[in-house]
Structures are given as structure tokens and as C-alpha cells.
Structure 1
Amino acid sequence: MDSPHGAAVKAEDFGLKGPRGWAFRGIGLDAAPGSLIAVEGPSGTGRTCLLLALTGRMKPTEGHAEIGRHRLPKKMAAVRRIAALGPVPGINDLDQSLTVAEQLREGALLQRHYGAPIRSLLRPRAERRATAAARIEAALDAAGLDLATLPKGERTTVRDLERLEAVRLSVAIALLGSPRLLALDDLDIKLSDTERTEVWALLRSIAARGVTVLAVCSEAPADAVVLRTGPKEDGGAPEAKQPTGAAGTPKITWGTRAKDGAEADRDAEAEADATGHAAVEKDSGERKDAAADAEKPAKADDGNDSNDDSNDDNDDTKGADDALAEAGRA
């Protein structure tokens, strides 16, 4: 897996409104590439909507943001290509019936169909196998997931994973595409204090590799660039606040809301149906189509072409299996 330079994340008066109120509003942010960004606030205060908007999955209503050199809302598709989703409940949940090996193999196949440049398909089969093996091994290493420590190794089913192990698996799958921005939702749900410490250490290590990290949480660490969502007591305009502490501490920005959390979530869902949620559905549909395509044999012009295509897929899958086996023995 490559270690690409992270994407800078900037936003100015960024907001998303549904038919009955604002999901979030007045968001301001200026984070350098490779930053660890925490979206902090109570559940139901528009945190997930903000994460999806900053990753090009929901269309904002006002203001603008820049992810790398791509400006939102005009360049949503370009942002989706460089921003990967880690665990985001309801969007890219792991398949509980699959084994860890199958889930990783599916992620690798999807990346091959939609993430790899066309010229990579022209490389020799041995080179493609080696590249796939190295990518899986590097992603597992970056996510801190050792298959040998799982109850049944790579054959452990996803439903049998602990919460922290499932987070690591989701992160590994997201890193297969070498994203410049990695986004995670509800990071600290169902985690003990010790596990939260481990997760934040993991995200710091990923940011140190050059990938910008955006994580939704209920309590942000002190060293993160913090965005706080939720209503302000005075209901006034957005206000930038500098926390007390050492010089150079990242700026904390508040976003205002006009409605309570439950109503805003309903508003955001309604708005997504009319605008940006189509992007999420498109991503989901593309993943399903790719998985289906990967299972179907290619239609060939003649018998030789058909055999070649089948051999290519078998070789790539074998490369992924070899990588998983090596990781399990490590």
C-alpha cells in the first residue's frame, strides 16, 4: 500500500439544511494534510451528516469546502475518489456472514474494479499478484490487525469479531484504496476506555503515514483538530473558540443548529433523498455491481480470451489468498 500525501480539509460557512431545519450550519475548518480531525458532539447533532458531506457523499446547502484541491459541492465525485469510508453504520457495514478472509477479498476485488487505473490491468499476471499481496499485507499492518490472533484466523466470521477488531478490519479495507482522507463514524461506541485509547493511537499512526483522518466521536483527544456540533446556548452565529492550553493548540469551531437532534437527523435524511444521498446509493450500488461482476465469468469473443480472463481472475484471487495466508502465519 502506498502512503499518499493527505488531503487538506477546509470549510467556510458549511451547512446542510433539510425541509424542517438545519442538520449542521456555520462550520469552519482549516486542517493541514495528514491532520487528525475529530467531529465531537452528542449523538443526533448532525455529526454523521457532516462527515458524509465532507467526503462527498451528501450535498451541502450553503457555504463551501475544499478537500485537497477539490471544491465542494461542485466536485463531489472527485472527493469520493480520494476519500475512503472506514466504519460508518448504515452505509458500509461489514457483512456479518462472511469470514475475515472473504471480506478482505471482496474489498480487494472492488478496489481492482473501481480504484485501480486501467493500465494496471495490462501488467504481467505475476506482477499483479505480487502487488495485490503486498497491498493486503500493508493494509492489515497499518490497521494493526493480526489475523493469527483471531479465534479461527482468517476464517473467523465477522460476527465473531470484537468491536475493536471489527474497526480494524473496516480500516484495513478502506486503506486498500490508498485514500488521502479516511473517515470513520461513531468511533467510540461500544469501546472501553482502554480500547478507545488503542483506536486513537491507531488513527494517529495512520495520520503519521500521511493520510488525513476524520473521525466522529463523543469526546475528542487533546491533540486533534476539533469540530464541535450541537446547539449553542445563546443560539447565535457560529463562533470560533481557541481552547486554553499551549500555544499552537488547534482551533475549535462550533456549528449552530435550528432544531433538536432527532428532528435534524430526519431532516438530513429527507434532504439526502432529494440531493446528496444518491451519491451514497451510487457507491453502494457500484460495490454490489462490482462484487457481482467479480463472481461472473467474463464474456469472451473466443475460447482463448475467455480462458485468459478466467486465469487472470484466478491469479489475482490466489494472490489475495496468499497474502492472507502469510498474514495469518505471521
Structure 2
Amino acid sequence: MNMDLSVKVGPQFYKYHEDAFSLIPAILSEYKPKRILIVHGTLSWIKAKPFLQDIFSDQYEWFFEKYSGECSYSEGERIAALIDANMIDFVIGVGGGKLADLTLYICHLANVPFGIIPTLASNCASWTPLSVMYKENGLAEGKTEHVNRQAVFLMVNPQLVIDSPVEYYVAGIADTLAKWYESDMILEQKEFLDAPFTSMARSAALICKNTILEKSSIAIEDMKKGFVSNEFLQVSEIIIGIAGLVGGLGDKYARNTVAHSMHDALSASLPELHKFLHGEKVAYGIFFQLALEEKWEMIDELIPFYNDLNLPKSLTEMDAYPLSEEKQKEIICLTNKKKKVHLLPIEVNEERLSKAMIDLENYINK
């Protein structure tokens, strides 16, 4: 079978080690840039700068730009214009997930190579060839920009990310857990099990699930202590790399389906949920998808894990339910419009989605 599959595996070079940043000068020398732009956040740059002093060679002209805090179309266009105006020929993004997404997008617009230095071990944004777009007010645009380029390098220093906010790490754990539950029903079909790359995607998704469920609690406690343990490293690499590899190998069939579609709908429709992190809303989305699939036993299996990590299991627990009939219809309509939810080998329509939302609230609140 000649499956419609676009494989975009990941960065050209990845290293997660205390000496990772020492390799950046050698990689830059291969690209022979003259003018390098560092795009960064505020607190992230304060944290990262002391780790990066050795990369600032005098053979390059360095530029620095603080981004607005959102991966938005307007911010992407603004910084892409700066790149053009200053004849920048290499970009390094230093920061969290939105910064990584923005760096990818601006380098797509400006057609320049880039590297990523994450300051959080909470997402796979640095790994993936897509950017999740937001409005400047923080609400989701409901759009994801897919591009045909990826990072020249992805360098992570455990000492830089170990003292990042634990709540972001927990949210990243939930977001990564979704890789299995969103792709399970699709990739278990024979045509995908028989195809080499989608079979590999399923194996990567299973690694995500198993490692997250087995080692997250220890990894979180070690992170709180500032202890770079094997569990912290393993869970971090699952979040940063293997989660991104799932979609890289399996393309649209393994990237995301209902859980992320629900996240997007909630983010676009309920500003009061902006206080919840991306992964926290995706955690609810996992339960919503399992309710749609009528896999209540899987929800039961996950409830202790959710309780342990204080992840939301329902809209009630997020103080967003009951919804008005108009608002519920809006959220369900936005979810149903996503093409990816219809990749599931079951009937998906507004009626079934609405029923799943109500059934889940009743099940969790019983």
C-alpha cells in the first residue's frame, strides 16, 4: 500500500547533556553565518545566558530580539522583517514552547536556518515541523502552520531545565501522554500496523505512554528537589524528543486527533480557561476522547494517575461546567470542524461529540 505519508523525523542534530552547548560553535562553522539573531523571552534569557557565554564568538555579528510572548502571525511577520532588514543568516531560539514554535515560523518566512535551545522540558515544540498559532491576547488561532524545515540543532542542558516551573513539566507530561491515546485507535488498524513508518510511530507512542505512567511521579519529585535523576532525564527526553518523533514518523495519522482538537476549541471559546496550561487542557481532552470512544475502563485506569498529578478530568474540575447551550454548541462545532478528528475509524459528528462531553461530566461527577 502506498500510504499518503510525509515523514519529517526531527532536528538534524540533537543532544541532551551538560556539554551540549559546547558543540554549537562547530555546527555554526558548517553554515558559515555572518550575522546571527538570538530570539528569546525575558526570564528564559536571564536563565539561559550564563550557560551560553562560550558560543559568542567574535567571528559573528550578534543580534538579540525579545519576542512578545506569543507565537502569533503578527509577531512572526515582525521578526521576519527584522531578519530581512539586518541580513540575518542564522537564528537561535532560546526559550519555551511558544518561542520554539515562533522561531520555526519566522525562519520559514525569512528562509534562514535555525537552532533551538529549550529552557523548559515541557513540550516537543523544538522537535516538530509545525507551529501552533495564537492571537496576541493569548487565545488560540485554531490554526497550525506546518512547514518543510526543521531545526539545524536542538541542544538541551539538564542543568538549565531542571529548575524550570514544575507545573510546566507536569503539563508536558500530560501532553505527551496524549500521543498514545490520540493515535491508538488509528494506528491499531492493520493497514497502519503493516506500514513501516506508522508502525514505528505506534511504537514511539507506546514508549511515551509506558514511560510517562511508570516514571513521571518519581521524575516530578526529583525535579522539585533539583536532582537530575535518570527518571527526570528519561521523562524529559520522552517529552522533548520521542513525543515529537511520533508525529514525525506517522504524520497526520499519529500527530493528534480529538484531545488536541478539544484543546483548540476550549482555548478559542473560553478565555477563562487561559489560566490552564496547554497540557492541562489536553489532559481533559484525553478523557473527552476516551469518552467519545466509550473506553470507560481506560478512564478508570488513568484516574489515579490524574489525581496524583492534579490534572483536570472534567470541565467541572476546571470550573467551566455546566456550559450554556450556545457555548457548548460553539465548542462542539469547532471540534467537529477539525479534519483530524475524522481520522478515527468511528463515526464522529456533533451529536456524538456533545454526548461524549455530557457523559464524561456525569461519569466523573458521579
Is TM > 0.5 for Structure 1 vs Structure 2?
no
Normalised to the residue count of structure 1, the TM-score between the two structures is 0.25
Name which structure has the greater RCO, CA cutoff 8 Å, separation 6+.
Answer: 1
Normalised to the residue count of structure 2, the TM-score between the two structures is 0.23
Looking at secondary structure, tell me which structure has more helix per residue: 2
Looking at secondary structure, tell me which structure has more strand per residue: 1
